[in-house]
Amino acid sequence: MYRTADGEQVFVVDSHIHFWDGSPANQKNRFAEGWVECFYNYHKNLSPPDYVWPLEQYQRYSEQQLMKDLFEDGYVDVAIFQPTYLRDFFVNGWNTTEQDAVLKEKYPDKFILNGAFDPRDGDAGIRQLEEDVKRYGLKGVKLYTAEWKGDSKGYKLNDPATYRFLDKCVELGVTNIHIHKGPTIWPFNRDAFDVADIDEPATLYRDAGLRFIVEHCGLPRVEDMCWIAAQEPNVYGGLAVVMPFIHASPHYFAEVMAELMWWMGPDRLLWSSDYALWSPKWIVDKFMEFDFPEDIKQSRGLSMSFDDKRKILGLNAAKLYDLPVPAEAGFQVAVPA
């Protein structure tokens, strides 16, 4: 819970966190090494100096560190695990549902556990999804369409094979589909970050109640993401990776937030730290202080109210995951379904 100087409370849901293992022992190949190096550079480049970790700590951090950074220092009430498997790169996977489940079982009220599926797994994948939902009570999945699998370098969200899994999600009540778009998605010669494959499933599964949360707001194709989201009311923006620019480049951050607020509004944006890429404390502090600069306020007629911040920091995610929100933390702020 974040408390303002005048005692108002803000319910904080960190909608995208990891408990990964990037240690050398878990790295299978040079792709794993490249993966960790790339993540670490994001961390170093965008964190305030006091929050930069040594590489070894970053590769594998402890449960105690995570609990402290999120719940003691970072104002977080509930955090959502978003797994990323990467079994072609890491011996035990980078950050799997099973790994995350250990902490979920230990601290059931602190975490939401999301699962994952990969349409290339076919029948076995469907059975696994059924088992995972039964075992963990999943309400959401995180999909990484750029994941390598043998000769395949990725898949599309609008593949018929994916629809089979989305049908299964509808049947099992898994309504929150988080999608990470990343480089090297198949085919190689097309735009690797294209978000267009979200448009069709968003339309097809709207009435069935699926919500598509585009992690990183489609960065680096935020322009296409805004365009799709403006037309599809069940498309949401996950602010992972966008948020830390609030420190390094506040004006650019404001410009991107202006686009997101303009095309999507405050009801469909979900804040996250992407822990351990970044630590939540400084991001929440800065966001609570944030306001659009005068030039954007005047030319766009945009504002970022206290209630907007409450929605983005927690209430929107609480709505998607049916989380109980303490009365004093703004449950009266209406968040559309």
Partner 1 sequence: MIVAAESASTSSSTSEPEEAVLAALRRVSDPELDESLVELGFVDSVHVDRGRVDIVLRLPTFWCAPNFAYLMVHDAREEALQLPGVNEVNVVLKDHMCGDEISTGVSAGHAFSAVFPGQTDGDDLGELRALFRGKAFGMRQEQLVRFLLDAGLTAEEVVGLRAQDVLDASDANGLRLELKGVARLLRGGAPLARAYLQRRQRVGLDTDPGAPLVTDLDGAPIEAGNLEAHLQRTRRQRVSMTFNALMCRGLLETRYGLVDNRKEG
Of 53, 262, 292, 331, which one interacts with partner 1 (CB under 8 A)?
A: 262
Stretch touching partner 1 by CB under 8 A, among 16-24, 102-110, 126-134, 219-227: 219-227
Would you say 210 or 256 has its CB closer to partner 1?
Answer: 256
Least distance from C-beta 43 to partner 1, angstroms? 9
State yes or no: residue 223 binds partner 1 (CB under 8 A): yes
Of 8, 23, 24, 45, which one interacts with partner 1 (CB under 8 A)?
A: 45
Of 136, 182, 204, 331, which one interacts with partner 1 (CB under 8 A)?
A: 182
State yes or no: residue 333 binds partner 1 (CB under 8 A): no
Least distance from C-beta 126 to partner 1, angstroms? 26
State yes or no: residue 248 binds partner 1 (CB under 8 A): yes
The C-alpha angle 307, 17, 200, rounded to 5 degrees, equals 75
List the interface residues with partner 1, window 14-43 (CB under 8 A).
Answer: 31, 34-35, 37-38, 41-42
Question: How far apart, in whole angstroms, are the C-alpha atoms of residue 88 and residue 86?
Answer: 5
State yes or no: residue 55 binds partner 1 (CB under 8 A): no
Of 73, 121, 159, 259, which one interacts with partner 1 (CB under 8 A)?
A: 259
Contacts with partner 1, residue ranges (CB under 8 A): 31, 34-35, 37-38, 41-42, 44-46, 151, 153, 182-184, 186-193, 219-223, 226-227, 245, 248-252, 255-256, 258-259, 262-263
